[in-house]
Amino acid sequence: MTRPQAQGECLKPTLERKHALQAARRLRDRDKSVQAYRCATCGGWHVGTSSGLQKQRRIKTLRTNHHPHLEQRMPENFTARDVYARHTNKEGHSYVAVHRVWSAERFFAARAAEAAKDGGKARCEQITEEQYRKERA
């Protein structure tokens, strides 16, 4: 419990000016708003922050790709669909995969551009669901 404060008395530790300035300098490494100040109540020197100088806490903003920007919002009737693809790397090894995409044409165009950049035997081609299931079995 704290005891009641008498007139002209301060409950904070009182320091000499020189020591208050040194302590504030040491504490400033952790908190830039710390300073030495003369108390109006007791007339002594204290180390601390004034309410206007306290460090502003920044609210962390989460950036996600789950919500498209307003100007790039998809039409309401636009739905995702599954496409099946055979991916071949530049050495000629291939695998099949299923992808959920908004636009199959844009997806395969992007994969073709990546394959052209890789060179060799790299490519990506669309296959049917039956071909996908047969190769996965």
pTM: 0.44
Tell me whether strands 94-101 and 81-88 are parallel, antiparallel or unpaired: antiparallel
Please check whether residue 109 lies inside any domain of the structure: yes
Same domain, 42 and 88: no
Average pLDDT of the chain is 78
Q: Is 62 helix (H, G, I), strand (E, B) or coil?
A: coil
Query: Both 42 and 89 in a single domain?
Result: no
Query: What is the DSSP-derived secondary structure letter of residue 117?
Result: H
Q: Which domain holds residue 24?
A: 17-48
76 Cα distance to chain centroid:
29
Question: Does residue 5 lie within any of the structural domains?
Answer: no
Q: Is the model's pLDDT at 53 over the cut of 50?
A: no
Note whether 91 and 131 are same-domain residues: yes
pLDDT of residue 33: 74
The verdict on 38 and 84 lying in the same domain is no
Q: What is the mean pLDDT of residues 6-13?
A: 68
Higher pLDDT, 133 or 5: 133
For residues 85-114, one letter each, b for 16 or more C-beta atoms within 10 angstroms of the residue's C-beta and e for the rest, the string is bbbbeeeeeeeeeebeeeeeeebbeebeee
Query: What is the C-alpha to C-alpha distance for residues 70 and 82, in angstroms, rounded to an integer?
Result: 25
pLDDT in tens, 56-115: 555 566 565 555 555 555 566 677 889 999 999 888 899 999 999 888 888 999 998 988
The residue among 90 and 41 whose pLDDT is bigger is 90
Residue 66 lies in a domain: no
Phi and psi at residue 108, to the nearest 5° = -70, -30
Q: Which residue has the higher pLDDT, 15 or 107?
A: 107
Indicate the number of domains in the chain. 2
Residue 6 lies in a domain: no
72, part of any domain: no
Instruction: Identify whether residues 132 and 86 lie together within a single domain.
Output: yes
Residue 53 lies in a domain: no
Provide, rounded to the nearest whole percent, the portion of the chain with pLDDT above 90: 20
Closest CA to 32 of 52, 49, 45, 14: 49
Is-contact 83 99, C-beta < 8 A? Answer: yes
Residue 9 lies in a domain: no
Residue 73 lies inside a defined structural domain of this protein: no
